[in-house]
Chains A and B, each alone.
Chain A
């Protein structure tokens, strides 16, 4: 039974050898000309304008959370739509209840002002 693991072990060894080999080789025979631009975190991207460790407005998190909740709602609708005919009125009522519960949440966040940016 353990024989069947042999190809996996071989693959792991090759992968390790390749990764370690590449690093070691480039270390040994590669040219090194460090410059400020090259050492920047995003060598090919936008120039940095400040530290990444800044405090972000909590509004982003609230919007993200709300997005997930209503996104999941939409995802649930797809499998339901596929079997809609077989579920009949029962399925329709169940999904109506589900959407109503989310509607309660929607009214709640709206009245609480969670959807206002300013």
Chain B
């Protein structure tokens, strides 16, 4: 007992969890400020949230090239976690910027929105910096529970209710799989520490082929593949993305996906390196399935939020290719791709936020007829984001796909790269169709309801700068991504 207490106290290192601590403190402060403010006054909450994210970014950058470990090997603020933290903070920041006026337009100026975004960002950070399966699970729960609430936040809209309930039920179910996998791996290795599991498996090669190890790996992958919306665990994505409030959808498509990738990479590459041939062949098939299902189904969509949901499934497939490659180029390519995807997808959603009427019935292909000429700035911005999602140079999407497919070719997965590129070609059709509607159809509306709110415009400008910077000068960020992997 005495030793346990000593051990627990010696290993405390608050520097390792400082970023998420800061976020949670700000989150609680905003929660309290909200209840003492009159109802509907949420602008100050959104401003404080932006400050919170900036402070957290500064704190988190302390961990770059200065790794902090703590809590008996449960948490590490290393380069990997720092890189992902920046991605989460960016996603949260762009989301909050576009939210304030949107929430007021839709009639839900709810102050709790901002703390929930901050809490889920903190959860994502725990997932990226967790070096123990329990910490990663804790992060996943904090992330998910906040998002369940956010998805169903529009209480009087049936679609939002459906999104919240569906996400909650399926999410809870997939969490069960994850926990079962963790339990089995604990049964095999006698520890939940990721690095120790790796050491155990390399010391006991006989256990690698053991059904319990393989079953643990499979069950655990289900939990994470659900979160990144990879086929065949993608069924929830379109309904949830369409029903949830648009900024929440934007956040969901970037933050949790990156967080689940971070956890998946740390566990598979550090902990389950011994099973690499098993998980490579598994992810090889799932990557192809995910890309094809995402891209082919997106072709049939006329609602833009739904189309972007399927496109998000397809992009999860591209990123999985990097994990199959499992070499320096492919894995750091995932880090780069998640950052690039955050910029381009949140930018596209910010345009949707501004273009929608109350209730968002008009976010369809028809609803965008002639949009590009009536609203030139938003039209050009949307075009840039769509080109980036397609993977056309000189945008971030091209650089990201280039690194990931280069990694696949380097590891000898030439067919996987070819299928990925063919899928990108398919995706041209549905992305370009939006541009065709925006510029080649006669406008049926004058889009007079679109008002250029400062926050959303700022987030669009940041996203454009990010997409073009990562597309034209990808080298610097890619160097950092290479430093960030194990």
Residues in A neighbouring B36, C-beta threshold 8 A = 111
- Does A83 make an interface contact (CB < 8 A)? yes
Report the separation of the CA atoms of residues A107 and B32 in the bound assembly, to the nearest whole angstrom: 8
Partner of B32, one of A83, A90, A104: A104
Report the separation of the CA atoms of residues A87 and B36 in the bound assembly, to the nearest whole angstrom: 36
Residues in A neighbouring B9, C-beta threshold 8 A = 87, 90
Residues in B neighbouring A107, C-beta threshold 8 A = 32, 35
- Contacts A90-B9, A104-B28 given: A83-B1 contact, CB under 8 Å? yes
- Chain B, 438-455, contact with A by CB distance < 8 Å: what is the 0/1 string? 000000000000000000
Residues in A neighbouring B5, C-beta threshold 8 A = 83, 86-87
- Does A108 make an interface contact (CB < 8 A)? yes
- Does B31 make an interface contact (CB < 8 A)? yes
- Does A101 make an interface contact (CB < 8 A)? yes
What is the predominant secondary structure among interface residues of chain B facing chain A?
helix
Report the separation of the CA atoms of residues A108 and B1 in the bound assembly, to the nearest whole angstrom: 37
Interface range for A: 10 to 19
Contact, CB under 8 Å: A108 / B35: yes
- A82 and chain B: residue at smallest CB distance: B1
Partner of A86, one of B2, B28, B35: B2
- Does A112 make an interface contact (CB < 8 A)? yes
Chain A nearest CB, measured from B1 CB (Å): 7
- B28 and chain A: residue at smallest CB distance: A104
How many chain B residues touch A (CB < 8 A): the figure is: 10
Contact, CB under 8 Å: B35 / A101: no
Residues in A neighbouring B28, C-beta threshold 8 A = 101, 104
Report the separation of the CA atoms of residues A111 and B31 in the bound assembly, to the nearest whole angstrom: 11
- B27 and chain A: residue at smallest CB distance: A104
Partner of B35, one of A83, A87, A90, A111: A111
Interface residues of A in 96-110 (CB under 8 A from B): 101, 104, 107-108
Contact, CB under 8 Å: A108 / B31: yes
Report the separation of the CA atoms of residues A87 and B12 in the bound assembly, to the nearest whole angstrom: 13
Residues in A neighbouring B2, C-beta threshold 8 A = 86
Report the separation of the CA atoms of residues A90 and B9 in the bound assembly, to the nearest whole angstrom: 8
Residues in B neighbouring A104, C-beta threshold 8 A = 28, 31-32
Residues in B neighbouring A90, C-beta threshold 8 A = 9, 12
Inter-chain CB contacts under 8 Å: number: 21
Residues in B neighbouring A108, C-beta threshold 8 A = 31-32, 35
Report the separation of the CA atoms of residues A111 and B5 in the bound assembly, to the nearest whole angstrom: 38
Interface residues of B in 19-56 (CB under 8 A from A): 28, 31-32, 35-36
Contact, CB under 8 Å: B1 / A86: yes
Contact, CB under 8 Å: B1 / A112: no
- A109 and chain B: residue at smallest CB distance: B35
Chain B nearest CB, measured from A27 CB (Å): 40
Interface residues of A in 76-93 (CB under 8 A from B): 83, 86-87, 90
- Chain B, 326-356, contact with A by CB distance < 8 Å: what is the 0/1 string? 0000000000000000000000000000000
Residues in B neighbouring A112, C-beta threshold 8 A = 35
Report the separation of the CA atoms of residues A87 and B35 in the bound assembly, to the nearest whole angstrom: 35
Report the separation of the CA atoms of residues A112 and B110 in the bound assembly, to the nearest whole angstrom: 12
- A110 and chain B: residue at smallest CB distance: B35
Chain A nearest CB, measured from B118 CB (Å): 14
Report the separation of the CA atoms of residues A112 and B28 in the bound assembly, to the nearest whole angstrom: 15
Report the separation of the CA atoms of residues A116 and B12 in the bound assembly, to the nearest whole angstrom: 41
Report the separation of the CA atoms of residues A90 and B14 in the bound assembly, to the nearest whole angstrom: 13
Residues in A neighbouring B1, C-beta threshold 8 A = 83, 86
Chain A nearest CB, measured from B22 CB (Å): 14
Residues in B neighbouring A111, C-beta threshold 8 A = 35-36
Report the separation of the CA atoms of residues A28 and B5 in the bound assembly, to the nearest whole angstrom: 65
Residues in A neighbouring B32, C-beta threshold 8 A = 104, 107-108
Interface residues of A in 38-56 (CB under 8 A from B): none
Report the separation of the CA atoms of residues A90 and B32 in the bound assembly, to the nearest whole angstrom: 27
Report the separation of the CA atoms of residues A104 and B35 in the bound assembly, to the nearest whole angstrom: 11
- A86 and chain B: residue at smallest CB distance: B5
Residues in A neighbouring B35, C-beta threshold 8 A = 107-108, 111-112
Report the separation of the CA atoms of residues A51 and B2 in the bound assembly, to the nearest whole angstrom: 57
Chain A nearest CB, measured from B10 CB (Å): 11
Chain B nearest CB, measured from A97 CB (Å): 10
Report the separation of the CA atoms of residues A101 and B2 in the bound assembly, to the nearest whole angstrom: 28
Report the separation of the CA atoms of residues A90 and B12 in the bound assembly, to the nearest whole angstrom: 11
Report the separation of the CA atoms of residues A86 and B12 in the bound assembly, to the nearest whole angstrom: 16
Report the separation of the CA atoms of residues A60 and B24 in the bound assembly, to the nearest whole angstrom: 29
Report the separation of the CA atoms of residues A63 and B462 in the bound assembly, to the nearest whole angstrom: 44
- A111 and chain B: residue at smallest CB distance: B35
Residues in B neighbouring A86, C-beta threshold 8 A = 1-2, 5
Report the separation of the CA atoms of residues A87 and B5 in the bound assembly, to the nearest whole angstrom: 7
- A107 and chain B: residue at smallest CB distance: B32
Residues in A neighbouring B31, C-beta threshold 8 A = 104, 108
Report the separation of the CA atoms of residues A47 and B72 in the bound assembly, to the nearest whole angstrom: 59
Per CB-CB distance, the 4 closest pairs between chain A and chain B, nearest first, are: A111-B35, A104-B28, A86-B5, A108-B31
Give me the interface of A with B, judged by CB distance under 8 Å. 83, 86-87, 90, 101, 104, 107-108, 111-112
Extra contacts, 15 of them, besides A104-B32, A107-B35, A108-B32 (Cβ < 8 A), are A83-B1, A83-B5, A86-B1, A86-B2, A86-B5, A87-B5, A87-B9, A90-B12, A101-B28, A104-B28, A104-B31, A107-B32, A108-B35, A111-B35, A111-B36
Sampled A-B contacts (17; CB under 8 Å): A83-B1, A83-B5, A86-B1, A86-B2, A86-B5, A90-B9, A90-B12, A101-B28, A104-B28, A104-B31, A104-B32, A107-B32, A107-B35, A108-B31, A108-B35, A111-B35, A112-B35
